[in-house]
Amino acid sequence: MGDEPRWLSDQEMTAWTGFLAASALVERRIDHQLREDAGLSHTQYEILVRLSAAPDGSLRMTELAEALLNSKSGLTYQMTQLEKAGLTERRSCPTDVRGVFAVLTDAGRAKLEQAAPGHVAVVREALIDVLTPEQLAVLADGLGEVARRLRE
């Protein structure tokens, strides 16, 4: 008896398919805007954001991968692209030979400052301004709980 799947109700299926469609469409719209306006992928933009918020503009690569919910190999690829563009660099950790830091360059900070207004405009257009304050509060609470549980 306990092996029977808990199939989704109509309301649950509507929520699930709505989440899938909305997340894919919002991501596509954000990635398109960033590529067109700034020449960055969404992941590359998020790397610049995380580094700009970090003390001294640097984070260990492992910390950055965890913060972005990205694999180390995926992050390495994105960092290589950003380094080629002069927006980031990697430095060895002086106290740990295995440790590598991702570092935001001045050009990376300038690129982020140039890209941020268009990015926030499309985030507002695609998601934030579509929802009422009540819907936004429920979404933030619900998705925050999902993320918290999956990180455990």
Q: How far is CA 19 from CA 9, 23, 32, 119, 128, in A?
A: 15, 6, 20, 21, 15
The CA distance from 105 to 134, in Å, is 40
- What pLDDT shows up at residue 79? 94
pTM for the full predicted model: 0.89
Identity of the residue numbered 5: P
Q: Give the position of tokens 């890209």.
A: 115
Angle between helices 72-84 and 42-53 (to 10 degrees): 90
Contact 105, 89 (CB under 8 A): yes
Helix (H, G, I), strand (E, B) or coil at 7: coil
Q: Give the position of tokens 């180390």.
A: 72
- What pLDDT shows up at residue 70? 80
Among the four given CATH numbers 2.60.120.480, 1.10.10.10, 1.10.3210.10, 3.20.20.80, the one describing domain 26-115 = 1.10.10.10
- Angle in degrees, CA 114, 120, 126, rounded to 5: 140
- What pLDDT shows up at residue 72? 79
Query: Where are the extended beta strands (E) located within 69-114?
Result: 88-93, 96-104
- Sequence ranges of the domains in the chain: 26-115
Average pLDDT for consecutive 10-residue bins of the chain (152 residues)?
86 97 97 97 96 94 89 88 97 78 96 97 97 97 94 86
**Closest residue by Cα to residue 52 from 92, 115, 103:** 103
- What pLDDT shows up at residue 27? 96
- What pLDDT shows up at residue 73? 82
